[in-house]
């Protein structure tokens, strides 16, 4: 199953091309790095057995890139019947 969530990066206010490349090389190639209003983040669409496992592996990959995840945000899923 795929899980979508966003990791807000600590102590970074801009996503540079170099940082995005470093994140991709560290295993975050299933993420979309971005920044807005002084916040740098990466939104993941990660395949995993569980949400917790997906978040843990994404945080580990971000740490491999030398960054720290300050918090994880998960948007509510809307299911239309």
d(Cα 9, Cα 33) in Å, to the nearest integer?
A: 10
At residue 77, does pLDDT exceed 80? Answer: no
Only one residue has tokens 């890139």, namely 65
Pairwise pLDDT comparison (40 vs 80), residue with the higher score: 40
Q: Residue 69 maps to which CATH number?
A: 3.30.70
- List, as one string, the DSSP characters of 20-76: HHHHHHTT-TTEEEEEETTEEEEEEEEE-SSHHHHHHHHHHHHHHTT--EEEEE-PP
* 22 assigned to some structural domain: yes
At residue 62, does pLDDT exceed 90? Answer: yes
* 40 assigned to some structural domain: yes
Torsion of CA 59, 35, 17, 22, to 10 degrees: -10
* 35 assigned to some structural domain: yes
pLDDT digits (tens, 9 = 90+) for 23-38: 999 999 999 999 999 9
Domain range enclosing 25: 2-73
**Total domain count for the chain?**
1
pLDDT digits (tens, 9 = 90+) for 7-28: 999 999 999 999 999 999 999 9
What pLDDT is attached to residue 81? 67
């Amino acid at each position: 199953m795929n899980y979508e969530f966003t990791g807000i990066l600590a102590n970074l206010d801009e996503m540079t091309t170099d940082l995005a490349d470093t994140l991709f090389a560290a295993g975050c190639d299933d993420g979309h790095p971005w920044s807005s209003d002084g916040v740098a983040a990466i939104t993941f669409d990660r395949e995993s057995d569980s949400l917790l496992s997906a978040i843990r592996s994404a945080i580990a990959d971000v740490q491999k890139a030398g960054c720290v995840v300050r918090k994880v945000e998960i948007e509510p899923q809307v299911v239309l019947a």
